Structure 1
Amino acid sequence: MRIGFFDSGIGGISILNEVMKYFPREDFLYYADTLNVPYGTKTKEEVNQHVKAAVENILKEDVKALIIACNTATSISINELRSAYDIPIIGMEPAAKPAIKLSNLMQKKVLVFATDLTLKEVKYRDLIAKIDKHSIVDSLPLPELVEFCEELNFNWNTLNTYFKTKLQDFDLSTYCTVVLGCTHFPYYKPILKELLPSHIQLVDGSKGTIKRLSILLKDNNLLNENGTNDILFKCSDQSNAYIEKMKDALSALENELNKPKRKHLK
């Protein structure tokens, strides 16, 4: 049986990459909803319909647990999915809680990068209202970054200009952490580490996801000791070209092919 991953596109491969390291004896299924990517610019109703249809397709395979490796899909559909299916389903949300904890210690602020839809969703607003006691969280929508990622655009001159433009109105000296609140965004950790002041830490949801997955697999006696880290890639438009793109995206993460050169960032 496989651990399933779902995202609208290749973003969730950043989470798959981390989970594979932690569970070397598991096998995996990665499903991308390529017919409907990106989700971040669609309505809540549209996203919910797309997610439910995709999960129905995923569960036709031999899947023992499912990670919704998409912050937008989690914010909209996770409760409905958990009510409908009896396998462990793990959602992802911007890792604001550990970022706030760190920033409170440093007496600085938190900046959350996410899609427009995630930032507008009630689930996200309720999360921030609950944990942001000192109003230190700011947010920045970066929908174009999803498009860059889907195009495997790792052109550092382009990205350098993009990030500097988006961040020009922020006094980065007042921030301690940046939350990567979309699974597409960790692809760009290398350039962000170059561009952002050295005191800023990047936080994403991969550690929390791994911890939760480990607990659920153990509690449900679902751990595999015989897997080989095999991955089955699937997508909703059944495109062989996109499946190759998913493999390329995983290779980019494994080999750090997207690591920038400093000369590109001057």
Structure 2
Amino acid sequence: MTIGIFDSGMGGLTVLSEAIRRIPMEDYYFVADTLHVPYGTKSKEEVHGYILDTVHDMMKHDIDALVIACNTATSIAVETLREEYPNLPIIGMEPAVKPAVEMNHSTGRRVLVFATPLTLSLPKYYALVSRVDDSGIVDSLPMEKLVPFCESMKYDTDEVKEYFLEQLAPFDLEDYGIIVLGCTHYPYFKPLLREILPSHIDIVDGSTGTVRRLAALLHRYGMARGKGSGKVVFHNTNEDKIYNERMKDALTYLQHNQL
């Protein structure tokens, strides 16, 4: 069985890393839409078209399940994809706001969500926060530079550190108990964030929950056979062989740091 995983760029490798750890004996086909990264600063209509085109091409590779390893892409196109491919198990992502709110109930502290500007502008995000945040403890912060930093493999440079400090300056971090990484590119910055943030702040993202749902769905459909070789095939829409090698390096970085 081949599990397809799709993102605008390297962010989805955070989900792939978790999938390999939890579901090791399947094969994976990872696609990065490098022609159009980043999604988070583009219009909803543009991104919708990019997603449909890329997934259409992925289907030519006989994938048996699809993970949309991108919060922005999920918000924009998951329902359309499920309509177009009704027999394909499709897993989307959303920022881990619900578990963050539940974890923070006992602390009395607030939750801060990092996400792309487009994700934060979509009705799906506001519906999520409205549904789970009865106490009004969730704040949102657009972090548009993090995807370009990640795509350049700048995870802990002085430039990145200064950007975080600048963005966080208006917030009293003593008021916050959890930061939600609402984009799959953002977990690359966990080591740097742990240096910057007060020790009482937890950092959560959606990769673990997404892979758990994937595993459950595969079992439900009787597809979790574990007969693959654990092979990973990388592809990007620019057909750039160097970028594919960089993705392999990025996956190694994630696995080495257990991100």
Q: For this structure pair, what is the TM-score category when the shorter chain's length is used for normalisation?
A: over 0.9
Opposite residue 247 of structure 1, the aligned amino acid is: K
Whole-Å separation in 2 of the counterparts to 1:49 and 1:59: 16
Opposite residue 61 of structure 1, the aligned amino acid is: H
Whole-Å separation in 2 of the counterparts to 1:10 and 1:119: 20
Q: Indicate the residue corresponding to 2:220 in structure 1.
A: 219
Whole-Å separation in 2 of the counterparts to 1:156 and 1:36: 25
Q: Indicate the residue corresponding to 2:232 in structure 1.
A: 231
Opposite residue 10 of structure 2, the aligned amino acid is: I
Whole-Å separation in 2 of the counterparts to 1:124 and 1:87: 25
Whole-Å separation in 2 of the counterparts to 1:254 and 1:214: 19
In structure 1, stretches of 5+ residues that fail to align are: 259-266
Whole-Å separation in 2 of the counterparts to 1:2 and 1:183: 21
Q: Contact 2:110–2:176 (CA<8 Å) still a contact in 1? A: yes
- Identical positions, percent: 48
- SS of 2:10's partner is coil
Shift of 1:225: 2.1
TM-score (norm 1): 0.94
How many residues are aligned here?
Answer: 258
Q: Indicate the residue corresponding to 2:66 in structure 1.
A: 66
Is 1:2 the counterpart of 2:2? The answer is yes
In structure 2, stretches of 5+ residues that fail to align are: none
Opposite residue 38 of structure 1, the aligned amino acid is: P
Is 1:185 the counterpart of 2:186? The answer is yes
Residues 147-166 of structure 1 mapped to structure 2, 5 A cutoff = 147-166=148-167
Q: Contact 2:156–2:192 (CA<8 Å) still a contact in 1? A: no
Residues 230-249 of structure 1 mapped to structure 2, 5 A cutoff = 230-249=231-250
Opposite residue 106 of structure 1, the aligned amino acid is: T
**Cα distance 1:95–1:155, how it changes in 2: closer, same or farther (>3 A)?**
closer
Opposite residue 195 of structure 1, the aligned amino acid is: I
- SS of 1:105's partner is coil
Opposite residue 84 of structure 1, the aligned amino acid is: E
Q: Deviations over 1:27-48 (max 9, x none)?
A: 1010011111110010000000
Shift of 1:257: 10
Opposite residue 236 of structure 1, the aligned amino acid is: T
More displaced stretch, 205-214 vs 249-258: 249-258
Q: Deviations over 1:72-94 (max 9, x none)?
A: 00011011111110211000010
Shift of 1:209: 0.6
Shift of 1:226: 2.1
Q: Indicate the residue corresponding to 1:37 in structure 2.
A: 37
Q: Indicate the residue corresponding to 1:263 in structure 2.
A: none
Is 1:51 the counterpart of 2:62? The answer is no
Opposite residue 163 of structure 1, the aligned amino acid is: F
Opposite residue 233 of structure 2, the aligned amino acid is: L
- SS of 1:229's partner is coil
Q: Contact 2:71–2:95 (CA<8 Å) still a contact in 1? A: yes
